[in-house]
Amino acid sequence: MSPEVLVLLVVFVGLMLLNVPIAVCIGLSTVATIATLGDVPTGYIVAQRMASGIASFPLLAIPFFVLSGILMGDGGMARRLMDFAYSLVGRFQGGLAYVNTLTCMLFGAVSGSATAAVSSIGGFMIPQMEEKGYKREFAVALTATSATTGLLIPPSNIMIVFAVVSGNVSVAALFMAGVVPGLVVGLSIMAASAFILAIRPPAKVAQSAAEMAAGLDISTAFIRAIPTLLLAAVVLGGILGGIFSATEASAIAVVYCFLLGMFVYRGIKWADLPSIILRGAKTTSVVMLLVGASQAMSWVLAYERVPQMVSEAMLGLSANPIMVLLLINLLLLIVGTFMDMTPAVLIFTPIFLPVVMALGMDPVHFGIVLIANLCIGLCTPPVGTCLFVGCGVGKTTIARVVPSAIPFFIAMILALLAITYIPALSLWLPRLLNLM
């Protein structure tokens, strides 16, 4: 390891231990490392790489998809999706748990935001599940883990970030590649719920299932949810049909969600728009700062040949793809526990992508594996964003929720292994649609 790389690691880890924001950790460690190079103009390189890193047309989709997700949450669309999910699976024993997961999957299919799903779905489902006899900690753990399916089921902001960092991956191919893995993760979480409830059934589950079966009609709930579900059809259909790009689709999604929330569902008022736009701008600014700082760090990593050294080291340990992918997954699972998803994708994509490509792995498949892996980190302490939001919504503590979440973690890890070692789960649909 060169002295420059050692400086990068020491400064980065040291700042993280001091609880400095991750974007600042990345930026300062990059500046410190470039300063040690001597013959490289530090200020110019950092500014140039940060500016060029965010000057990307695909990244323009992020603020629009963020805004559309907020409009969905505030516009009443989540409730229509919940009613539709109730009509489909609410009648089964333990149906509220399945409703929770299915609603998060549907919400993710039209918003692409895990935290928005936790706050929007959890704010309604967690109190209702507790009222029907489910433990609050179980409801929070279920909501936090189920919400991550929205990052695999398109559209997804993190897929756009991966496409930009990887350099030559189609956003449309990534979107389609995430559909089946998202379903696999969602069904795995449902299976874990069924297992838990078979061992410890809530007292009122049978009554609640009978009430929901009597009170909800599938056709009525579907008709009410059609305007919301059409958003996914418009966005994905337009991209696949070549009518517009993913970036243009994000702008169309904002207009659609605005019109639906303002004039159809009437959940948004004109007075709400300034706060909605401000929330979207805050989220976007954090993401863009991360992207810019991470692109500067990527320059340092490339300058010091870190990806090549990691590739040679890992392939030197084993030429067996099964073992190398298992090692990468273990490293990413550890990384995900203390680093948020966006910086993890920005930092580790250029490091691990050359390794898996040397093994013959498709970049689209690796992108889905990477995202599915880091989704688990969103639900694990100490930096589990979805877990923190879920505990806030459910008015409980992380220490009480984590034991209830362990079966869901196991289910997600099993789904991750299936996604990793069965490439067809990710590649079948984009190949069928001639996207790769």
Using the predicted structure, report yes or no on whether residue 66 has a pLDDT greater than 70: yes
Please report the pLDDT score of residue 214 as a whole number. 45
Q: Per-residue pLDDT for 335 more than 80?
A: yes
Is residue 213 pLDDT above 50, yes or no?
Answer: no
In a domain, 18, yes or no: no
Give the per-residue pLDDT at 209.
45
| Burial of 361: CB neighbours in 10 Å, binned 0-12, 13-18, 19+ | buried
Q: Residue 126 falls within a domain, yes or no? A: yes
Tell me, what's the pLDDT at 211? 47
Report how many domains make up the chain: 1
Residue 15 within any structural domain of the chain: no
Residue 34 forms part of a structural domain:
no
| Banded model confidence at residue 185, pLDDT cuts 50, 70, 90 | very high
- Examine residue 8 and state whether it is found in any structural domain, yes or no: no
Confidence bin at 90 (pLDDT 50/70/90): low
CA distances in angstroms from 168 to 84, 112, 172, 377, listed in the order given: 38, 22, 12, 26
Range of 228-232, 420-424, 430-434 with top mean pLDDT: 420-424
To the nearest whole number, what is the mean pLDDT of the chain? 82
Please report the pLDDT score of residue 406 as a whole number.
92
Using CB atoms within 10 Å of the CB of residue 160, give its burial: 0 to 12 exposed, 13 to 18 middle, 19+ buried: buried
**Among 49-53, 135-139, 198-202, which is the least confidently predicted range?**
198-202
Q: Does the residue 381 lie in any domain? A: yes
Tens digits of per-residue pLDDT, 343-395?
A: 888 888 888 898 888 888 999 999 999 999 999 988 887 667 788 888 888 88
Between residues 20 and 174, the one the model is more confident about: 174
Cα distance between residue 285 and residue 412, in whole Å: 30
Is residue 356 within 8 A of residue 328, CB to CB? The reply is yes
Asked if residue 22 is part of any domain, the answer here is: no
Q: Is the pLDDT of residue 107 over 90?
A: no
**Would residue 69 count as lying in a domain?**
yes
Q: Which domain range does residue 191 map to?
A: 41-432
User: What is the share, in percent, of the chain residues with pLDDT greater than 70?
Assistant: 93
**How far is it, in rounded angstroms, from Cα 122 to Cα 115?**
10
Residues 2, 306: Cα–Cα separation, whole Å: 10
Pairwise CA distance, residues 206 & 169, whole Å: 48
Task: State pTM to two decimals.
Answer: 0.83
